[in-house]
Structure 1
Amino acid sequence: MDGLIGRCGFYCGSCPTYIKGECAGCRAAHEKGNCFTFDCVQERGLAYCGQCADFPCDELFAREKATVLDKNWLAWKRRERKEPK
């Protein structure tokens, strides 16, 4: 299962793009321009976007593949980052 955790932090097995066969998952070879998240993480030298100081960024928050549950979690994470306990 670890091979199905995308660089975005989402589980590839629940991603509509992966399910439709349009993406082999982030552990597969990618060409630049195929995936915003993959390109961004590569350019920043990170393993996952959760390691980024800008996480969760507006681009990740707006991704089509994010489910309602994912978007709720990202919104919570964004609030937590701005107002730490």
Structure 2
Amino acid sequence: MKKEIDITKDENLIAYCGLYCGACPRFVKGKCNGCKENNPSWCKVKPCNLENNYTSCADCKQFDSVSDCKIFNPLLIRFGEFVSRTSRKAGIQLIKDKGRIEFENYMVENKLVSIKK
């Protein structure tokens, strides 16, 4: 039987890129404090959001779609999303359409780090 994981509900666990850190296995196991607490050197999205005072890429007005942003959408990330059949873009769109609280509720209820394609 698969063990039920405890998903943390906290608006601060909404990552800048449309992921939900509260459902991430690394966060749940205590191995990570979430994207907003950590400073991964490979992440270019967080510095862009901080420079522009955004809470997430959903606040960006520079592009009609995050798909057009080279910072948000590098090749390696696109490959990872293809393999995992997930979409950070869908997360950003949900934040734009419904707001951060509805995004958080959806991710917690469905135990998702990223929205499935």
TM-score by length of structure 2 reads 0.43
Counterpart for residue 90 of structure 2: 73
Counterpart for residue 43 of structure 2: 35
Q: Which has the higher Rg, Structure 1 or Structure 2?
A: 2
- Following TM superposition, by how much is the alpha carbon of 1:41 offset from its aligned partner in structure 2, in angstroms? 0.2
Alpha-carbon distance change, 4 to 35 in structure 1, aligned in 2, over 3 angstroms: same
Q: Are 1:58 and 2:107 an aligned pair?
A: no
Q: How many residues are aligned here? A: 73
In 1, are the aligned partners of 2:18 and 2:88 still within 8 Å (CA)? Answer: no
Structure 1's unaligned 5+ residue stretches are 78-85
Alpha-carbon distance change, 4 to 65 in structure 1, aligned in 2, over 3 angstroms: farther
TM-score by length of structure 1 reads 0.54
- Select the residue among 42, 47, 52 that pairs with 1:44: 52
Structure 2's unaligned 5+ residue stretches are 1-8, 94-117
Alpha-carbon distance change, 40 to 16 in structure 1, aligned in 2, over 3 angstroms: farther
Percent identity between the two aligned chains: 26
